[in-house]
Amino acid sequence: MLIDGTAIAAEVRAEVASGVETFRQRRGRVPVLRVVLLGDNPASQSYVRAKKRAAEEVGIDAETLLKPADMSQSAMLALLAELNEAPNVDGILVQLPLPDHIDEGAIIRALDPAKDVDGFHPENVGKLVLGDDTLEPCTPAGIVEMLKRSNVETSGAHAVVVGRSNIVGKPMASLLLRRGLDCTVTVCHSRTRNLAEITRQADILVAAIGRAEFVTADMVREGATVIDVGINRVEDLTRERGYRLVGDVDFEAVREKAAAITPVPGGVGPMTIAMLLANTLTAAQRRTA
Ligand SMILES: NC(=O)C1=CN([C@@H]2O[C@H](COP(=O)(O)OP(=O)(O)OC[C@H]3O[C@@H](n4cnc5c(N)ncnc54)[C@H](OP(=O)(O)O)[C@@H]3O)[C@@H](O)[C@H]2O)C=CC1
Ligand SMILES: Nc1nc(=O)c2c([nH]1)NC[C@@H]1CN(c3ccc(C(=O)N[C@@H](CCC(=O)O)C(=O)O)cc3)C=[N+]21
């Protein structure tokens, strides 16, 4: 089975749109999202454009604050303080990665946790691990939504997460471990010994590695559910853009063995954006409750 992220994301967006409409009727305004982007990285620009377009389609007021790549850390902190204090701003997203002269941790700590729609602030990360209600990181939250809506059995399942980043691997592991999802979770990374032996034990395999087609068929158990988080550009001069997108999974080979698999594009990516919109609505509702 193909897990269609594009279709599931459209469902989530329709639900958000109806929530936004209710919010507007009750509060007399719409939720407001501000996206901060430093520099002109083309991939970042295209993600940010997609986020803004999706937000507008569900009725969220979204603006991108495009800043020069050499903006100083103190100017960035001042901008965030302004957005934190703005009563009408519900959600703030700082597009990552940031230029090297900026301390990413310091920027994330400077966000008002109530407006942190990425769920990256230490207070929100703490709540996530504790199992408290919080704004959940969009990519792992989107994966949970895909698993639920595709009726993938998680209770007691062995979930193997490859990747331990703060934005995907670690929060993914925390969510899968939670009561309600109840997976047995293994987290792997670049120092893991016998990786293939471990991934072959997965009922649910989440690949968040950042290496094109890294997960091959021999690493996957027959009947597993495979979630491909990777977004890798590989040169393809037959395409207009000069590249195509591939995931961290060798899709054609692995789909023969997997019971369910997410494609790239059209898998986790659209879900990440849909969950950002859901988090923006949630932040607006909680701030005005
Ligand atoms: N679809 C979406 O919405 C999103 C997609 N992405 C994509 O997902 C991928 C992962 O992103 P992100 O988590 O930010 O990436 P990072 O580069 O931050 O993390 C990659 C992880 O993979 C591990 N890793 C690298 N090589 C190996 C290896 N040979 N064997 C086992 N583990 C390995 C690293 O281990 P170590 O810690 O030891 O270095 C690290 O933990 C990227 O392709 C990114 O573009 C990211 C965010 C959202
Ligand atoms: N603060 C922050 N929050 C993020 O959530 C964040 C970030 N920084 N930095 C970069 C990563 C990456 N990311 C993606 C979102 C959507 C797609 C997506 O929709 N991809 C489409 C394809 C898009 C295309 O064609 O280029 C798809 O997979 O179908 C991909 C990647 C969010 N990230």
273 marked as part of a ligand binding site? no
E strand residue ranges, the chain: 32-38, 61-67, 91-94, 158-162, 184-188, 204-207, 225-228, 232-235, 243-246, 260-261
Q: Report how far ligand 2's centroid is from the alpha carbon of 108 (Å).
A: 18
Helices and strands per DSSP (H, E), number in the chain:
10, 10
- For the chain, what is the mean pLDDT? 97
Domain final residue pick, 84, 115, 146: 115
The structural domain count of the chain equals 2
Catalytic residue among 116, 118, 228, 250: 118
Q: Report if residue 282 sits inside a domain.
A: no
Average pLDDT over residues 261-285: 98
Residues 166 and 48 in one domain: no
Q: Say yes or no: CB of residue 258 within 6 Å of ligand 2.
A: no
Q: Final residue of a domain: which of 80, 115, 150? A: 115
203 in active site: no
201 is catalytic: no
User: Average pLDDT for residues 30-57, to the nearest whole number?
Assistant: 94
Tell me the pLDDT tens digit for each residue of 150-180. 999 999 999 999 999 999 999 999 999 999 9
Distance 269 CA to ligand 2 centre (A): 5
Q: Are residues 178 and 248 in the same domain?
A: yes
The answer to the question of residue 5 being in a domain is no
Confidence of residue 75 (pLDDT cuts 50, 70, 90): very high
| Amino acid identity for residue 159 in this structure | A
Q: Which of 93, 143, 145 is nearest to 115 (CA)?
A: 93
Q: What is the DSSP letter of 178?
A: S
Q: At what angle do helices 122-130 and 169-177 cross, to 10 degrees?
A: 30
Residue 40: predicted pLDDT: 86
Nearest residue CA, atom 20 of ligand 2? Answer: 269
Domain shared by 166 and 231, yes or no: yes
Both 176 and 53 in a single domain?
no
Query: Residue 190: pLDDT above 90?
Result: yes
Q: How far is CA 101 from CA 40, 71, 97, in A?
A: 16, 9, 11
pLDDT grade for 19, boundaries at 50, 70 and 90 = very high
Q: Is residue 171 part of a domain?
A: yes
Are residues 108 and 42 located together in one domain of the fold?
yes
Q: Could you identify the residue written with the tokens 């999802």? A: 181
Query: For residue 192, which atom of ligand 1 is closest to its CA?
Result: 31
| pLDDT score, position 235 | 95
Q: Does residue 79 fall inside a structural domain?
A: yes
For the question of residue 52 being annotated catalytic, the response is: no
Q: Do 144 and 262 belong together in one domain?
A: yes
pLDDT in tens, 196-208: 999 999 999 999 9
ipTM above 0.90, yes or no: yes
285, part of any domain? no
49 falls in which pLDDT band (50, 70, 90)? Answer: very high
Domain-located, residue 251 = yes
Q: Quick one: pLDDT at residue 147?
A: 98
Q: What is the pLDDT of residue 169?
A: 98
108 and 120 Cβ atoms separated by less than 8 Å: yes
Q: Are residues 265 and 168 in the same domain?
A: yes
Flag whether pLDDT at 213 surpasses 90: yes
- What is residue 289's predicted lDDT score, i.e. its pLDDT? 79
Q: What is the pLDDT of residue 207?
A: 99
Given this model, what pLDDT does residue 132 score?
97
- In the chain, what percentage of residues exceed pLDDT 90? 98
At 232, which CATH number? 3.40.50.720
Residue 73's pLDDT band (cuts 50, 70, 90):
very high
Q: Is the pLDDT of residue 228 over 90?
A: yes
Nearest Cα neighbor of 5 from 259, 263, 233 is: 263
CATH of residue 105: 3.40.50.10860
Q: What is the mean pLDDT of residues 37-66?
A: 94
Same domain, 173 and 264: yes
Asked, for residue 276, whether it belongs to a domain, the answer is no
State residue 162's pLDDT score. Answer: 99
**Ligand 2 mean position to 230 CA, how many Å?**
10
Residues 255 and 152 in one domain: yes
94 and 142 assigned to the same domain: no
Domain that holds residue 182: 138-269
> Is the pLDDT score of 92 beyond 90?
yes
**Which residues, including other chains, have CB under 8 Å from residue 29's CB and lie 6 or more apart?**
88
Residue 90 has pLDDT above 90, yes or no: yes
Look at residue 208 and tell me if it is in a domain.
yes
Average pLDDT over residues 219-243: 96
Shared domain check, 156 and 93: no
Cβ–ligand 1 contact at 187 (below 6 Å): no
